[in-house]
Amino acid sequence: MKHLSLVLAVACVTLGFSAGPKPKPDDAGKLEAVLHKMDEVSAGFTTARADFEWDNYQRVVDEFVDIQTGTVYYRRSGKETEMMAEVKNDGTSLQTLRPERKYVLFSEGKLRMYEPKIERVTVYDLGKQHGGDVESYVVLGFGGSGQELQKAFTVTYQGTETVGGVNAGKLQLIPKSETVRKYFNEIVLWIDPDRGVSVQQQFFTPQKDYRLCKYTNIRLHEKIDSDVFKLKTTGKTQIVTPAG
């Protein structure tokens, strides 16, 4: 799963394992309600789209060093869920935003990143061994079920917080996989209790950096044109497959 950090960086990413609020006696019931809603949504999931803002914080400089905005699309095709992220504004800092578009497609166990400015597609073949595992992270909060969540994480209910006008259920996820914990040792999801999808995510690294992912204008079960899940390359586009 050596490319997991890249996948999470586009899908959406402490001080070690933060304990968070101490669980209350009735938290188990509230957690079950959130997970059950996610199960319901996952069972009938077809498509989703949302606008995003991905903010990257680095502890060494104590500031957000990169902000990316754009739109992300999800589509369930058979047993597989495809994702396309259109990064419309790839910024290097809060003050300097560069409108350099990128497209990141996850499909058929491969992650493809297209950079039109330099006419290059970088292909990461995640392979059959880890394809299913990676997909569970790609759909984290968008089409993934509560049962799947509990298989991969130790899940703790941390109360509710208002995010974008939504009184969201806050879930702390501690990865059960040691491999995953090398990249992200804690993930926090804010789940809309009515729609069963994530309105915000936060991924913490062992180095105490984090990525905060904010989602707005979320739309579920709307038809999305198949062309959205295709990279619009040209005859000049170079295909690169990193070794290893």
Per-residue confidence (pLDDT) for residue 93, from 0 to 100: 47
pLDDT score at 7? 56
**Over 70: is that where the pLDDT of 145 sits?**
yes
Q: What is the mean pLDDT of residues 221-240?
A: 94
Domain that holds residue 93: 4-13+15-240
pLDDT band, very low/low/confident/very high, at 98 (cuts 50, 70, 90)? low
pLDDT 10s digits, 158-208: 999 999 999 999 999 998 888 778 888 899 999 999 999 999 999 998 888
The Cα–Cα gap between 18 and 26 comes to 21
Residue 135 and residue 81 in contact, taking contact as beta carbons nearer than 8 Å: yes
pLDDT tens digits along 15-70: 233 334 455 656 889 999 999 999 999 899 999 999 999 887 777 776 666 788 99
Give me the pLDDT at residue 137, please: 67
Pairing of strands 110-115, 47-58: unpaired
pLDDT band of 94, cuts 50, 70, 90: very low
User: Who has greater pLDDT, 180 or 114?
Assistant: 114
pLDDT band at 127 (very low <50, low <70, confident <90, very high): low
Residues in contact with 63: Cβ distance below 8 Å, sequence separation at least 6, in sequence order: 57, 94
CATH number at residue 59: 2.50.20.10
How far apart are alpha carbons 236 and 134 in whole angstroms?
30
Q: How many domains does the chain have?
A: 1
Q: What is the DSSP string of 113-139?
A: EEEGGGTEEEEEE-HHHHHHHHHHHHT
pLDDT(216) > 60: yes
